[in-house]
Amino acid sequence: MMLLVLLGLLPYLASAVVLDKKAEAYVGSTTSDIFPPTGTKVNSDLFPGETGVGYPGVTVTGVEPAAVQTAASYAYNTGSLSSYPLVVDQPEDGDQNIDISKYWGNLSPWYSVPSSFYGLNDTTPLAPEGCSVTQVHLLYRHGARYPTSGSAPYQFSGKMANATKQQGGFNAWGELEFLNDWTFKLGAELLTVSGRLQNFALGAAFRQQYGYLLNNFTEQGTLPVFRTESQDRMVKTAENFAAGMFGVPEYMDQVNIEIMVETSGVNNTGAPYETCTNSNVASRGSIGSTAANAFAKNAFNGTIDRLQGQITGVNITSTDIIAMLQLCSYETDALGYSAFCKLFTKEDFENYEYYYDISFYYNNGAGSPVAAAQGKGFLSEFVARFTQTPNPAADNSINSTLDNNPTYFPLNQSIYADATHEVILLDTFTALNLSALFSSGPLPTDKRTQSSFKASQVVPFATHLVIQVLECQNTSPSKQIRFILNDAVLPIDQSYEGCEWNKDGLCSFDNVVRALQQRVEEIDWEYDCHGNYTAVLGKDYNGRARRG
């Protein structure tokens, strides 16, 4: 594998967490349990690899798998975490009919969403009858990770640590008794073990479904170029995906992984918030975060009263409730189990899910004025790949140094795979105008309601959008395209002019490309990302502050 570390060979932005004196503020912070031990490394002389040992036995490779073309039925991922290797408690009120891991918003593990949720009842990701997939584009998220530095779980840990330093400390009993001995054991930002597994499994599944498309690379005498960002978890995401798809150690020699630098001021389609300044402005790109916090202040009053009655020395707030719910998610992913999960009822988890729905809908979805601008980079690159047109439009987050070079931005691949963050995936869905995700309209922020937009279905860990380009015998024209999100085929008749409703989610490739080209022209990157305006909560912006 050729690791292309670009733009000055900058170091990875996120590496193993270094615990310094600040860590003393966190309950139970320690370096004693970190693996591998400092100063150790594998001795390749004493433990030679496969080539050094020899005697490999029979090694005959068969033809590439093509499950998307040949399978009689599709293998869906039910996504339950209540089985090996992770353990999840049932809700506090004992409801046995829900899998709470599907109520964790962007902290949920990905699971298959039925196409029927978006109105297509009789289709699967398998190639429709008479069609063959000739090209596939994958946009996917990293797997489960530790919480980001300074996030709610860290703040809660600090709050508990400070409480122990006060006179009398704190005392918890009943459901909260475990807090008396609880310590904060999480790292920051890196992939967890289950996160590595999610990306590896995604790569293996992708090879099983689309392996036959690698024959195009064999015919051309080239290797694929897959892309990711320079944060440690993003590099490991691409590597684990590649290991799942190509095998170990084969992936080292069978795919080029292009690492795009993610840092402030550097253009990167996978991290446009580094150059789109309005993305982090409270009155523009972050209105969803404000609205979600306001919702939480009212949604968990009963829960606060119940838990406050089981602890002294600590004043529990709605911010703490969100932190403890997040610790349920993060500890389960990282440690295999979390005692925080059993504190909350089914209604609590439903409100937790809706908290994320509000945040993502208004920060990165149709209710955001900057979402489409942030997704414009990937949108422009998709159009360039579809049309095999070099030098995609650069009035956005595109890095022209890379995209104008066919080594780093090839246009003749049968398989593309780009890894990025969940916020950018949703920004891109908005830029692509995948309106089925937002068909029920703006989300109320004062009460929970049913909606077509669910963050746990759209932006979970290892979420992925697959765009299939197909040749079909029974359509005119024969070249078709469709969009599949976490195994749900999306209807696109309301997204693109000239597309009619189709039971398989198909539409003419040329129609969709024309609509996407127009969408590129409509999105005003400069105004949406740098203009001086105030966003209105509850409005359907279609991701844009200014309509063309």
Mind listing the pLDDT tens digit for each residue in 157-169? Answer: 999 999 999 988 9
Whether 30 shows a pLDDT value over 80: the answer reads no
Whether 17 shows a pLDDT value over 80: the answer reads no
CA separation for the pair 104, 394 (Å, rounded)? 36
479-485 and 507-508 beta bridge pairing: antiparallel
Structure tokens at 7: 């733009």
Residue 9 pLDDT grade (very low, low, confident, very high; cuts 50, 70, 90): very low
How far, rounded to the nearest angstrom, does the alpha carbon of residue 292 sit from its chain's CA centroid?
Answer: 19
86: left (phi over 0), alpha (psi -120 to 50) or beta: beta
Q: Higher-confidence residue: 396 or 462?
A: 462
Q: Is residue 118 packed enough to be buried (19+ CB in 10 Å), middle (13-18) or exposed (0-12)?
A: buried
* Contact yes or no for 469/455 (Cβ under 8 A): no
Mean pLDDT of 171-198: 95
Q: What is the predicted pLDDT for the residue at 491?
A: 98
Residue 438 pLDDT grade (very low, low, confident, very high; cuts 50, 70, 90): very high
The topology under which CATH files domain 2-7+65-130+145-153+190-302+357-463+473-530 is Rossmann fold (3.40.50)
Residue 414 pLDDT grade (very low, low, confident, very high; cuts 50, 70, 90): very high
The structure's pTM equals 0.92
C-alpha distances in Å from residue 440, one per residue of 9, 450, 456:
45, 9, 17
Structure tokens at 197: 């597994």
C-alpha distances in Å from residue 448, one per residue of 194, 289, 295:
31, 16, 9
Q: What is the predicted pLDDT for the residue at 431?
A: 98
> Which sign does the torsion angle of CA 154, 160, 162, 164 carry?
negative
C-alpha distances in Å from residue 194, one per residue of 121, 137, 142, 242, 244:
32, 25, 11, 16, 14
CA separation for the pair 154, 25 (Å, rounded)? 9
Single-letter residue type at 74: Y
Structure tokens at 127: 């190639």
Mean pLDDT of 125-129: 97
Query: 346-384, pLDDT tens digit by residue?
Result: 999 999 999 999 999 999 999 999 999 999 999 999 999
Q: What is the predicted pLDDT for the residue at 62?
A: 87
DSSP lists the bridge partners of residue 228 as 259
Q: How many residues does the chain have?
A: 548
Whether 251 shows a pLDDT value over 80: the answer reads yes
CA separation for the pair 155, 369 (Å, rounded)? 30
Structure tokens at 459: 């932006």
In the chain, what percentage of residues exceed pLDDT 90?
Answer: 82
Residue 155 pLDDT grade (very low, low, confident, very high; cuts 50, 70, 90): very high
Residue with tokens 């530095």: 149
Whether 25 shows a pLDDT value over 60: the answer reads no
Query: 282-341, pLDDT tens digit by residue?
Result: 999 999 999 999 999 999 999 999 999 999 999 999 999 999 999 999 999 999 999 999
Residue with tokens 């030098």: 391
Whether 21 shows a pLDDT value over 70: the answer reads no
Q: Look up residue 21 and give its DSSP letter.
A: G
- Which one, of 138, 397, 418, lies nearest residue 269 by Cα? 397
Q: What is the predicted pLDDT for the residue at 492?
A: 98
Q: What is the predicted pLDDT for the residue at 244?
A: 98
Residue 60 pLDDT grade (very low, low, confident, very high; cuts 50, 70, 90): confident
Which has the minimum average pLDDT: 212-221, 358-367, 386-395, 520-529?
Answer: 386-395
Q: Higher-confidence residue: 89 or 91?
A: 91
Residue 1 pLDDT grade (very low, low, confident, very high; cuts 50, 70, 90): low
Q: Higher-confidence residue: 43 or 296?
A: 296
Whether 394 shows a pLDDT value over 50: the answer reads yes
Residue 41: half-sphere exposure toward Cβ, Cα within 13 Å: 4
Whether 23 shows a pLDDT value over 70: the answer reads no
Q: What is the predicted pLDDT for the residue at 84?
A: 59
Mean pLDDT of 168-184: 96
Q: What is the predicted pLDDT for the residue at 56?
A: 82
Run of H or E including 180: none
Mean pLDDT of 488-511: 98
Structural domain boundaries of the chain?
2-7+65-130+145-153+190-302+357-463+473-530
